[in-house]
Amino acid sequence: MTLVPQHWLRRAHDAVDFQLSRLGGAAAAAALCSLNGRSFDNALDAGAYLCRAARSPAQQMALSGAFHGIEAEQVGPILEAMIQEDEDRMMVLVSR
pLDDT in tens, 60-72: 777 777 777 777 7
Instruction: Flag whether 14 is in a domain.
Output: no
CA distances (Å), origin 32, targets 40, 44, 86: 9, 14, 27
Backbone angles phi, psi at 35, to 5 degrees: -135, 125
Instruction: Give the domain range for residue 53.
Output: 27-95
Instruction: Flag whether 7 is in a domain.
Output: no
Res 33 pLDDT > 80: no
Q: Residue 57 contacts by C-beta under 8 Å, 6 or more apart in sequence?
A: none
The count of domains in the chain is 1
Averaged confidence pLDDT in the chain: 77
With bands split at pLDDT 50, 70 and 90, how would you rate the model's confidence at 2? low
pTM of this prediction? 0.50
DSSP SS3 for 65: helix
